Structure 1
């Protein structure tokens, strides 16, 4: 029997819920759905190198997501619809080497765009970050051409901070501090 059978994880990653969404740890059972998402050209347009990745590389990304939780105590959650269990995407916190701060990041499957899921998941992730981790600030690194992500950043309360190169790519940096977030989104 493997140490972690398919669908199981040994890490203590919290489960977050909203009215419509469940956010949980990735498991081996999610690999195919995640690979399908990462093979979608529309989804990856503004991520990484901007081109689809194969299932092997997608698995490596999933392992990195889980390793992020293990090393830093926070990371990205898998997002699924509560009522159907359908895979929606991934949302949460990133702080990779060379990052200018802890990022709130989102990536929703194109089939679910326009439903407000990224906003809903981002807000619950941000509240968790400010309440549980006691962070003072969150940032978002956004491709300069990604207008939808810029609008979402503004909708959650982030404001444009600057433009800088991060990991070899030009990014628009948006930011929000704890006091701003709690004023805009009281519990």
Structure 2
């Protein structure tokens, strides 16, 4: 276990920087070959996670695509859904919250119980954590697909430092340290 939990944004993106298309479809992702035991695999990542954080759109996508036909909620750890809406939690582990990431920092750290906090998505929520100084790493698997438009990976100006890069079949897997906000060009 970590002594200080890391706030980590672990996701996949298209080569042109989109998480989902304009209709929130992940078809581009679900058709790519990947080795479940390869570089930056989900199993190794999730074993270090004690708490998940997501926005309302990600929560709705999970309800529409994963929690169907009697399938249970996919996370057995505390989950915080940041939203200004009022969705109904489908599991006891889900907490609906509003406000800024900074307002919930200590609650998230406590819920993670010494493990990492995973910002599942979306990109805007991850950027809000970064703006609050609460995003340590971006772990991204880049697929050989372009969409031209959709939900952006990270819709803010930030500098990142490449820590590692590997390949997992179709994906380039990169881990970045978040350096800080990038000043606008003059």
Specify which structure has the higher proportion of helix.
1
- Asked if Structure 1 and Structure 2 have the same fold, meaning a TM-score greater than 0.5 normalized by the shorter chain, the answer is no
> TM-score scaled by structure 2?
0.32
> TM-score scaled by structure 1?
0.32
